[in-house]
Structure 1
């Protein structure tokens, strides 16, 4: 591979200071070279908005990253990995066209905004119910554990058709799968637990698909089965594998989006006051969080063949980090990019990706996050952060999620 930019001081993106606040370094990196080879990470760091967009559109940039995930598994846990990584290989997020397109089309109608809107009333009711249980005025607690995690869990379980009695096992498996996919499983025992959780989740959802064939309901699985594509354009095994992706992605992303938005507003009194005065601006607050401090910092790709990007030569097999957390702060796209503005309009942020791999669950994630933020801001005016200066973040290369958000309701 060839590089031309002058030397830049490397910062390890999983070091504690980078986990706490990566943005100063990412801004400097983007200003220095929006396409930069990092020997420390053995990857190209793509940080410019236009350059990330080019990669998201270019078929030479592959989304297949199951092999790198498997390579990270400790040697002692490899025996457990074969079936688990077979399941991951059926996730559409890890597939390129044309297979990606074929898999995605199965869910296209179910994820359309008009279909998701059917869950608005349930989401608003669930939001009020969760807050009534956990957010009594004057009580202290952890907003992440009290609200941001259980609310998406309720909505996504209802949407998928998970019986309430199965909820504890279902969400335990999801948590362990997140550890595997997001790279937070470190010890061999953690990897084994995560690999087994993915297999258990796949087995459970396979049985649920069979049950919904016999007894259809008002849920995602039943809707897709009624459309007749399972067994036609996709196999039942592929369908179940994709459901494990839906189960993992919906809860984790939306929980972090809610918590990050509450943190952003409660550390910016003027923006919090704006949403209180105009509750419809909760949508703008969620969008600004997705841009400025969203639940995803980057996605990982691989060069399927040699390509030129911004004067750099990326060789086939090179790993590529598409750092949307930096692209969403590119001053060439966003005026005053470091400012959180609930009324911002203009350029499209990349918080949910773009193009073929745009997050298929974006409409549902937005529905849940906006309902939670609007209710917390407007119906709980006494809500305050009890430790606003020291948020603790999960040690993950890919996601941006708090470990806790201490508050007084």
Structure 2
């Protein structure tokens, strides 16, 4: 068991100061003990890189957390929850092997880098179109609302095969589902809206699957249907349930990644200048954001059985927070870990997870984020932050996303 520093004072991770900047406290936790029991959160906080990696590889650490999500729903909204949580139970991110492997294989080819590369030209065209509408020189605006949200929405809708006329309803449902899964729904009415949105999203995607069977197109759903696994290795219900995960996961994560990268560069003039001088470093800027201040702070797991981790005994049923936001700043893995360096190489960050649960949409998220960042940095040299000292972050345990990013284009 490793212990280096005095135990830090327990802090609630959803308190305003922790939402604003959790990193000092997380660093102190990791330096004290990379596996730490938190009575306040009633969970193990795993903050060391090696310890998080061990959990991501260990079959004793389960990804099934549908029950904890359901337990968080207010009693008055429980009657609406049964079908919604049945849908969540079909998300591969909440399943362990062998079911997780069987579900993931259905999408493996569609998400491969070579398949995603087909959308490069469309992504670059969509990026220029969004910026031409919103980023006129001299205009002030919110980069999150103007660019970071609509661009992934355009690309992911095209990729899934969502008709443009259905876009507003489709993205409204996604926003409400995010409130449920990321824990930002607080009131009973918000939970009810989120649960109903998930059901509506599945109904819509089920009808779209039927339409694509009759009229195939050039999109993810049509591609998977052509491969013949739906109805064979997975049921139609499983496939539609997983599509709701695909719809939810891509937009939210990529929007936050774009905004966080723009914020990181525009508060570090030397790094911004480096990307302007060498546009290919936009890729490095996105990767460094994923490491240092990415869209995901942690993932939640459960001990499926007793296990020993770094000298601590985790009991079956214990909740485990895999705090990748701390592991990605572990000085044992990353030299000078608090420094943002677009040329950084070396150890692999955990911004998209690792192993069996490595984010299946990582290649598409990277494609969209790099296109947006490169274009914003290189084609809009007058872009400045309107208020760089006061970023406001979403109150979420799991994700790291701005509520807005005011800029002058």
| TM-score, normalization by structure 1 | 0.99
Does the residue aligned with 1:403 lie in a helix, a strand or coil? coil
Structure 1: where are the runs of 5+ without partners? none
Which whole-Å deviations, capped at 9, do the CAs of 1:78-136 have from their partners, x for residues lacking one? 00000000000000000000000000000000000000000000000000000000000
Contact residue 303 and residue 318 of structure 1 kept, 8 A: yes
Shift of 1:8: 3.4
Does the residue aligned with 1:313 lie in a helix, a strand or coil? strand
Which whole-Å deviations, capped at 9, do the CAs of 1:292-322 have from their partners, x for residues lacking one? 0000000000000000000000000000000
Contact residue 84 and residue 199 of structure 2 kept, 8 A: yes
- C-alpha separation in 1, matches of 2:347 and 2:376: 28
Does the residue aligned with 1:3 lie in a helix, a strand or coil? coil
Structure 1 pair 273–100 and aligned structure 2 pair: CA distance change class (3 A): same
Which whole-Å deviations, capped at 9, do the CAs of 1:235-268 have from their partners, x for residues lacking one? 0000000000000000000000000000000000
- C-alpha separation in 2, matches of 1:4 and 1:85: 42
Does the residue aligned with 1:302 lie in a helix, a strand or coil? strand
Contact residue 297 and residue 397 of structure 1 kept, 8 A: yes
CA RMSD for the aligned pairs? 1.5
Does the residue aligned with 1:5 lie in a helix, a strand or coil? coil
Contact residue 141 and residue 408 of structure 1 kept, 8 A: yes
Which whole-Å deviations, capped at 9, do the CAs of 1:174-231 have from their partners, x for residues lacking one? 0000000000000000000000000000000000000000000000000000000000
Which whole-Å deviations, capped at 9, do the CAs of 1:40-66 have from their partners, x for residues lacking one? 000000000000000000000000000
Contact residue 3 and residue 37 of structure 1 kept, 8 A: no
Does the residue aligned with 1:172 lie in a helix, a strand or coil? helix
Aligned to 2:140: 140
Aligned to 2:47: 47
- C-alpha separation in 2, matches of 1:5 and 1:101: 40
Contact residue 3 and residue 313 of structure 1 kept, 8 A: no
Does the residue aligned with 1:152 lie in a helix, a strand or coil? helix
Which whole-Å deviations, capped at 9, do the CAs of 1:367-404 have from their partners, x for residues lacking one? 00000000000000000001000100000000000000
Contact residue 4 and residue 312 of structure 1 kept, 8 A: no
Contact residue 2 and residue 310 of structure 2 kept, 8 A: no
Contact residue 7 and residue 29 of structure 2 kept, 8 A: no
Structure 1 pair 29–226 and aligned structure 2 pair: CA distance change class (3 A): same
Does the residue aligned with 1:320 lie in a helix, a strand or coil? strand
Does the residue aligned with 1:401 lie in a helix, a strand or coil? coil
Contact residue 300 and residue 320 of structure 1 kept, 8 A: yes
- C-alpha separation in 2, matches of 1:272 and 1:3: 38
Structure 1 pair 168–79 and aligned structure 2 pair: CA distance change class (3 A): same
| TM-score, normalization by structure 2 | 0.99
- C-alpha separation in 1, matches of 2:373 and 2:231: 40
Does the residue aligned with 2:44 lie in a helix, a strand or coil? strand
Contact residue 184 and residue 395 of structure 1 kept, 8 A: yes
Contact residue 62 and residue 301 of structure 2 kept, 8 A: yes
Poorly superposed stretches of 4+, deviation over 2 Å: 1-8
Structure 2: where are the runs of 5+ without partners? none
Aligned to 1:323: 323
Aligned to 2:177: 177
Count, aligned residues: 409
